[in-house]
Structure 1
Amino acid sequence: MSVDAEQLFLGRQPILDREQRLYAYELLFRSGSQDNTATVTDGVAATATVIANAFAELGVEAALGNCRGFINVDQEFLFSDMLELLPRHTVVLEILETVKPTPAVIDRCRALKAGGFALALDDVVEFTPEYDELLTLVDIIKIDIQALSRVQLMQLTLQLRPKGKTLLAEKVDSREQMEQCLQLGFSLFQGYFFARPTIIAGRRLDHSQLSLMKLMGLLLADADTGKIEAALKSEPGLTVNLLRMSNSVAGGMTGHVSSLNQAITLLGRRQLQRWLQLLLFASGKPNTDNNALLLMAATRGRLMELLAEEIRPGDASFADQAFMVGIMSLMPALIGLPIRDIVTPLPIADDVKTALCDDQGILAKLLGITECSESGDLTGLAEQLAQQPELGAKALNRAQTAALAWAGTLASEK
């Protein structure tokens, strides 16, 4: 069974450590084919080919940066020779709960472990003696906390803790669950609590955040430089930082940038907009150097920008609006206010407001594609792409890889 490169889909969900710093992504590779008539053997070969091509052709390994990628491994794929092609220092082989710990499976896992692969056991909900030998080989145990009561989770954790393995809580959907798992000694966390953050509630925008958003609105509305300069003058801290950055950019130029007008001209509006957007997110939470929400926002904005460029090549204004929609779509999670309350007072383009507040228009469709990609909703992703014939799966994966790499560069520069 051949696999068309155009039918390659990539889904991902972040995995965080105890400080909510990004540790890894669970990567979901699937063929986009709707043909379910292939035999099991063919399906395994197709999945193996898709994964191998993803790393070889899309550069996912480089895009992950310092993060690892967790990849699901079923019974058939565990014994596939294609597994040997994956980068051992980058991936974690996540053995699915459907894989029974037979002697052959144990021997295969032992060989993979000796060959340098890290192993994880997926969806653990109980401890039975038949898994004891397999547990000695894996590095990470993923526990499905949704399937367990508080007492059951505590009992299972007490049983597994002596094994000395890293415990990962998956399907963490609330702050209460997160705090319980922290108390029980879990080291890694995965779930919609992070991928769709709703951490802060009811907090008002402070003065600096309002100023940043107003400045972004002026830039997107293509306001004249005088208005932007006037808005900056009411923010001495921003003014000083802008002048410092501009002088740094000026490099070997004669003299220094001494006015806001000079600084705006030298930086260029697009670069100034990027700076303001990232400052806005950095101001939302303390210690955001490795904050997962900041990285997620940067990745989302960049991915939407790249998708916009695929749809309308050369349309910088449309690409800028797509970036804005992407990064602004996470503002409710960061600030704790409804998106309409955040967006309505701002002088931003109607298309941006419509996408964010009413879920209408091409920018809203691009946001939907991006959100399906983030959550690993590959069925939804296929449906969304079917409505955008100008966007192929190959273009999406290329954009996803570039967006991950860009976000990783931002994190490394902080």
Structure 2
Amino acid sequence: MEVYLGRLPILDNKQNLVAYELLFRSDQHNVVTITDNSAASANVIIDTYGQLGIENVIGKRRGFIKVDDKLLLNDTICMLPKKHVVLEILRSVDINDEIIQRCSFLKQKGYQLALSNVTHLDARFDRIMPLINVVKINITALSQQDLLSLVKRLRRWPVLLLAEKVESQEIARNCIALNFQMLQGFYFAKPEIISGKRIDPSKLSLLKLLLLVVRESEVGEIENELKYQPGLSYNLLRMVNSAANGLPSTINSIKRAIMILGRKQLQRWVQILLYAAKQRDGGTSDALMQTATVRGKLLESIAIADRPHDKNHQDRAFMVGVLSLLDTLLGIEMPELVSTLSIQKDMSEALLTRRGSLGYQLALIEAYEKGESEIVLSMLPELGFLSMEEFIRLELEATAWAHRISDAVNQTA
């Protein structure tokens, strides 16, 4: 049986990517069924820590893996690296003496434990709660009053609260106000457009720089604009050096970076750095940056497989992937951004309507991000040149590359 692996992002309350939930997906048909939770989780574990490689799947972040009573009690679970995983105990698990004893043992070994899909707490949870690190609450299943009551009851224990199925900024703000430390869902990738909203000055300067690059301005203009952005220049050099392969020495000046990289490569880094701009609250759009970078690299890889000799098409594909979340980042309608950038028609259609080959491939990537494997499996045959196995390999390579870029930006000086 083939096994496909999905990852749902888990963010902190400043939209920084802190973990993933690892999802089991199986069968080459358009149906996903899980009849044995233990077997499903075991397959996730085998794939994640075996052939795929943990660094490719989740980087330096933690992976939440669902476990039922069978897997929890199985000794093979102790083969998992405790610094990389959170064991997410399913709601169906009976909290009996054997489970309490097992959780206590795993806790002593240094494993983190989470409760999955919690909607209420009764007396049977009192014994296990002191052993739990994270409680995942199903937001959609609760009224506001029931949610308030549950959160109040959970304050008896020093646990972290994780909101599941957060699908809008409004819900996210409500959860943060209730002191949830983590949120899971795709709210962060959805644009929140406010009429007449002014762009953050730090983002505006980056957009100006992007325009200079896209419109093929003189190298001197690009260099001068970067000189007014010392923090940006520093991050740019870190990113360039982290991704540079085979260079005899470190690139230590913007002018040299421009000379060595050329305009197209510089354009890529500027696009990515838009997402690394400091926000007014002091945080960064870490999750957006990671997602946009993976999209760019993966779209480029698909373009290479599709048109191996068309470098211009490959460059456009990368740009579409990275720019696809710019409306979310800046709070500006995508048509306005597309008009401002004056990009080519196939790129505009991809960003605005998901039409054309680039648009179709972008929609495919978006479906995969959300764990919608049925849609992915139905869309891949339309491409005609990419199997599911090849697509996952390209996605993992793009993810590993994005992790390196993100780490270069986020590391302390």
Asked whether 1:366 is paired with 2:364, we answer: no
Q: Tell me the residue number matched to 2:180.
A: 186
Q: Deviation digits for residues 164-203 of structure 1, max 9, x if unmatched?
A: 2111122223344333333332222222322x23346343
Unaligned runs of 5+ in 1: none
- TM-score, with length taken from structure 1: 0.82
- Alignment equivalent of 2:155, drawn from 143, 158, 161: 161
Cα pair distance change 1:123/1:268, threshold 3 Å: same
Contact 1:60/1:401, CA 8 A, preserved across alignment: no
Q: Tell me the residue number matched to 1:214.
A: 211
Which is worse superposed, 55-64 or 370-379? Answer: 55-64
Contact 1:243/1:257, CA 8 A, preserved across alignment: no
Cα pair distance change 1:170/1:243, threshold 3 Å: closer
Contact 2:31/2:374, CA 8 A, preserved across alignment: no
Question: Greater RCO between the two (CA within 8 Å, min separation 6)?
Answer: 1
Q: Distance in 1 between matches of 2:226 and 2:159?
A: 51
Q: Tell me the residue number matched to 2:65.
A: 71
Instruction: Within 5 Å, give how 1:86-235 maps onto structure 2.
Output: 86-194=80-188, 196-199=189-192, 201-202=194-195, 203-204=197-198, 208-218=205-215, 227-229=217-219, 232=222, 235=225
The amino acid that maps onto 1:138 is: I
Which is worse superposed, 46-55 or 157-166? Answer: 46-55
SS at match of 1:344: helix
Please report how far the alpha carbon of residue 36 of structure 1 lies from its aligned counterpart in structure 2 after TM superposition.
7.7
Contact 1:242/1:263, CA 8 A, preserved across alignment: no
Instruction: Within 5 Å, give how 1:245-394 maps onto structure 2.
Output: 264-283=258-277, 285-286=279-280, 287=282, 289=284, 291-394=286-389
Q: Deviation digits for residues 92-142 of structure 1, max 9, x if unmatched?
A: 111122223233433443343344321110111111112222323221111
Contact 1:169/1:188, CA 8 A, preserved across alignment: yes
Please report how far the alpha carbon of residue 28 of structure 1 lies from its aligned counterpart in structure 2 after TM superposition.
0.9
Cα pair distance change 1:209/1:80, threshold 3 Å: same
The amino acid that maps onto 2:61 is: C
Q: Distance in 2 between matches of 1:377 and 1:232?
A: 41
Q: Distance in 1 between matches of 2:63 and 2:253?
A: 44
Q: Distance in 2 between matches of 1:409 and 1:193?
A: 25
Unaligned runs of 5+ in 2: 242-246
Contact 1:68/1:91, CA 8 A, preserved across alignment: yes
Which is worse superposed, 58-67 or 76-85? Answer: 76-85
- Alignment equivalent of 1:19, drawn from 14, 19, 42: 14
SS at match of 2:23: strand
The amino acid that maps onto 1:374 is: E
Q: Distance in 2 between matches of 1:263 and 1:181?
A: 43
Q: Deviation digits for residues 3-54 of structure 1, max 9, x if unmatched?
A: 23xxx3222222122332221111212213339899956x744652353123
Which is worse superposed, 56-65 or 321-330? Answer: 56-65
How many residue pairs were aligned? 395
- Bigger Rg over Cα: 1
Please report how far the alpha carbon of residue 329 of structure 1 lies from its aligned counterpart in structure 2 after TM superposition.
0.8
Q: Distance in 2 between matches of 1:115 and 1:354?
A: 53
Please report how far the alpha carbon of residue 63 of structure 1 lies from its aligned counterpart in structure 2 after TM superposition.
4.4
Please report how far the alpha carbon of residue 151 of structure 1 lies from its aligned counterpart in structure 2 after TM superposition.
1.7
Q: Distance in 2 between matches of 1:185 and 1:242?
A: 36
Contact 2:167/2:185, CA 8 A, preserved across alignment: yes
Q: Distance in 2 between matches of 1:358 and 1:340?
A: 10
